[in-house]
Amino acid sequence: MKLLKLVPDDTNIKFLKWRMPFYVVSIALMIASWVAVFTMGLNYGVDFAGGQEIRATFTQMEEAPIGDIRETVGSLPDTGDPIVQRFGAANEVSIRVKLPPEAEGDKEFADRLTREITNALDAEYDNIRIDGVDSVSGKVSGEFRTAALWALLAAMGAIAIYIWVRFEWQFGVGALFALVHDVSLTMGFFALTQLEFSLQIIAAILAIIGYSLNDTIVVYDRIRENLKKFRKMPVPELLDLSVNETLARTVMTSLTLLVALIPLLLFGPASLWGMVAAITLGIFVGTYSSIYMAAPILIWLGVTSTSFVPQEGKADQQEKVARGEA
């Protein structure tokens, strides 16, 4: 039986030939992503923004009237601009209402607002069933945001230190830059699309970091082996060789993950759509960064063909002299 080969053995793509244009585009996208985050903001879920979330099911309808629900809830006092989304099946909805700043920490106000919303829905729709109510205070949501930020920073910092110890400091800097690139583009995606940014998305970003790191380490390991094997080969050619040698593994890993993610993206529950979309984007971004970000930056960080050649001590030099080799 002939094995499936997605990438031929003799692949010789000159990836580093276009490293400058790709770097310029990538840095521009990173800057644009953070501009979008700071100007457009993120659509924080109740986890991060605080407020009330009511989940309901319309038992005798195939599809929930989202527009009518938004008008019904929005007409009530203190509800602001409610966010109404499908939650699971077409007849299930999630209604999220952010509490006014002056009502943060006021449990009585939150309970009263929840009762007003549920009473209005019961009066408007005979076939509605309230499935659950979640309440998150502004203080707790702020703590969630801080904890999530520290989790991301700690993960990237620990990864950079590990790669520094495992390889060399240039590899640690390169891997960290690639991870910052991946996280930046993911954040920009959520700022542009205004998809809900919740704790699920933090988990997705951590998964993206893990995938990107795995891809980068495979490439770095092959680069280190080739630096020891081909000491006279120019570094750009050596990096191209290393990336091409690991390309089949990279493509196979990415496609395997996409086979699992695409059905979830197309047919999975709406509650998981944002998380799956983030991981799917992360696969493409992580694969790209391991090739065009993590590898070329080694040239600018001063990695040479002698970077992994052991330095001779005085004893070694004296031994060579004694053998007449020096």
What does the pLDDT look like over 180-198, one tens digit per residue?
Answer: 999 999 999 999 988 888 8
130 three-class SS = strand
Q: Which residue has the tokens 């030939």?
A: 17
Higher pLDDT, 222 or 8: 222
For residue 148, name the pLDDT band (cuts at 50, 70, 90).
confident
Convert 186-225 to b/e letters by CB count within 10 Å (16 or more is b). Answer: bbbbbbeeebbbbebbbebbbbbbebbbebbbbbbebbbe
What does the pLDDT look like over 220-251, one tens digit per residue?
Answer: 888 888 888 887 788 888 888 888 888 888 88
Antiparallel, parallel or unpaired: β 51-58 and 128-136: antiparallel
Q: What is the pLDDT of residue 81?
A: 72
DSSP, res 302: T
Break the chain into its structural domains and give their ranges.
15-41+141-300, 51-136
| Structure token pair of residue 184 | 């930046």
Cβ-proximal residues to 213 (8 Å cutoff; 6+ apart), any chain: 159, 175, 179
Stretch (H or E) spanning 56: strand 51-58
DSSP, residue by residue, 152-174: HHHHHHHHHHHHHHHS-HHHHHH
Higher pLDDT, 199 or 55: 55
For residue 307, name the pLDDT band (cuts at 50, 70, 90).
low
DSSP, res 296: T
Stretch (H or E) spanning 286: helix 273-292
**Nearest to residue 18, comparing CAs of 291, 304, 281?**
291
Residue 128 forms beta bridges with which residues? 58
Mean pLDDT, residues 64-83 taken together? 82
Q: What is the CATH architecture assignment of 51-136?
A: 2-Layer Sandwich (3.30)
In contact, 308 and 227? CB cutoff 8 Å:
yes
For residue 274, name the pLDDT band (cuts at 50, 70, 90).
confident
Q: Which CATH superfamily is domain 15-41+141-300 in?
A: Multidrug efflux transporter AcrB transmembrane domain (1.20.1640.10)
What does the pLDDT look like over 46-66, one tens digit per residue?
Answer: 767 677 888 889 888 888 888
Mean pLDDT, residues 78-104 taken together? 77
Cβ-proximal residues to 265 (8 Å cutoff; 6+ apart), any chain: 273, 276, 277, 280
Sheet containing strand 51-58, edge to edge, reads 83-87, 89-97, 51-58, 128-136
Q: Is the pLDDT confidence value at 316 over 60?
A: no
| Amino acid code (one letter) for 118 | T
Q: What is the pLDDT of residue 314?
A: 57
Q: What is the pLDDT of residue 310?
A: 57
In contact, 199 and 148? CB cutoff 8 Å:
yes
Q: What is the pLDDT of residue 32?
A: 94
